Amino acid sequence: MEGFKALGLSYRNAPIELREQVALSEVDAGQFLLKLKEVCNVQEAMLVSTCNRTELYYSSEADIKKEIFALISSFKSIPSNKLAEVFEEYSTEEASKHLFRVALGLESQVLGDIQISNQVKRAYQQSADLNLAGPHLHRLMHTIFYANKRVVQETRLQDGTASVASVAVDLIGGFIQNIESPRIALIGLGEIGQNVLENLNTDEASITLVNRTKSKASKLAEGKDIAVRSFEDLDEVIAENDVVISAVSTSNPIISASNLDIDSIHKLMIDLSVPRSMDNDLDSVPGVSLYNVDQLTERTQKARKIREKSIPDAERIVEDELNGFFKWKSEMEVSPTIQRLKSALDQIRIEELARHKKLSDKEMELLEVVTKSMIQKVIKLPVLQLKAACKRGEAESLVGVLNDLFNLESAEVEKK
């Protein structure tokens, strides 16, 4: 418990520019974790990196913050002292609780965001694939998955659509369902553009990214079945795609009816820019459905209010499941002592039986059964007392008493 920690930044304490600098692709995240294991001898680690947050969860008894910042700096060319200024630190129980809240969407910019739960699952899978998920992380994550299931069943934290990006994706899903091999273009990859991209399902449609800085689009498309086009190809991209989403920062509209070939048009145009990047004249083009930010925002208000009312119920579930996890963790910490005590008593039993060599096989079998039963009864009370001490937070003193009474640590050394 004492060695589990977290370091991270999010939309709460870091601007989008810095979050973009720090964010790691899935490939980079894997390389970072392997390097962390090599440099810091970390046995458990998980990295959650999205456009809204980059957080590292890890187990280490030593203080390795400087080494972690130096490693991030080597990957992203950001001075370590700048990272130290913005990264928040969570330790022991606080780190476990924070991961719970992140995974359940209680810390999301969009309250109850389902997407973050999937992102945390992928991060956990990557850790498991890299052999960086040990007993603590495995148990914690499966407890979180169960808590998330309870939140879905017992609360309305994830009801409705509570973000402009997810409303846009819902509109797209309804529009393309009857289109064979639908094509979607996403123009502009700032914060909201990235949110849309994270919510889009690449299995349902082919996706093309367009950004003024093409290298940024290429980076976001890395390792995915996503095309990248230059901003200079904007007219062609608009003509070729069934859905066009624009999240471009601009002072004047850059897309208008003049960009369209108005013969046999059937397009969904979604303008997520403020100020608007799509001209109102698009709304008058037959076959074009145009939506702007204000229209999409209206759809989110009701869902947000419902979700906000569910916060106390969701937090109750978090506390409930966390208490169960901490109870398991405490019992795991005294488990070695219980095993050593069992071994010590069993060794005494075996040595005593060995002194009675004149007994017949049948008598020896009977004594085996009787003495094992006695050991079980003798050890029952200390085990119950240890578990009770765990709940009171007093296990350490009782472990010390048992070690002294039965010389358990010396016995373990001799055994080895």
Q: ∠ CA 227-16-23 to the nearest 5 degrees? A: 60
**Strand order across the beta sheet in which 53-59 lies:** 44-49, 53-59, 4-10, 88-91
CA separation for the pair 164, 194 (Å, rounded): 12
Q: Which residues of 140-166 are buried (b: 16+ CB within 10 A; e: fewer)?
A: bbebbeebbebbbeebbbbebbbbbbb
Close Cβ partners of 321 (under 8 Å, ≥ 6 residues apart): 100, 143, 144, 146, 147, 150
DSSP 8-state symbol, 160: S
Active site residue 390: no
Beta strands in 151-258 (DSSP E): 183-187, 206-210, 226-229, 243-246
- Quote the tokens at residue 170: 């819902």
Catalytic residue among 22, 23, 36, 51: 51
Where residue 198 falls (left for φ over 0; alpha for ψ -120 to 50; beta otherwise) is alpha
Both tokens assigned to 206: 């082919």
Find how far residue 286's CA is from the centre of its chain.
44
Structure tokens belonging to residue 217: 């689009």
Q: How far apart are CA 241 and CA 291, in angstroms?
A: 16
The residue type at 373: S
C-alpha separations of 361 from 60, 124, 367, 391 in Å: 52, 53, 10, 45
Residue whose C-alpha is closest to residue 236's, from 176, 185, 179: 185
Query: What CA–CA distance (Å, rounded) separates 342 from 356?
Result: 22
Residues in CB range of 257: below 8 A, 6 or more apart:
279, 281, 282, 284, 285
Residues with a known catalytic role: 51
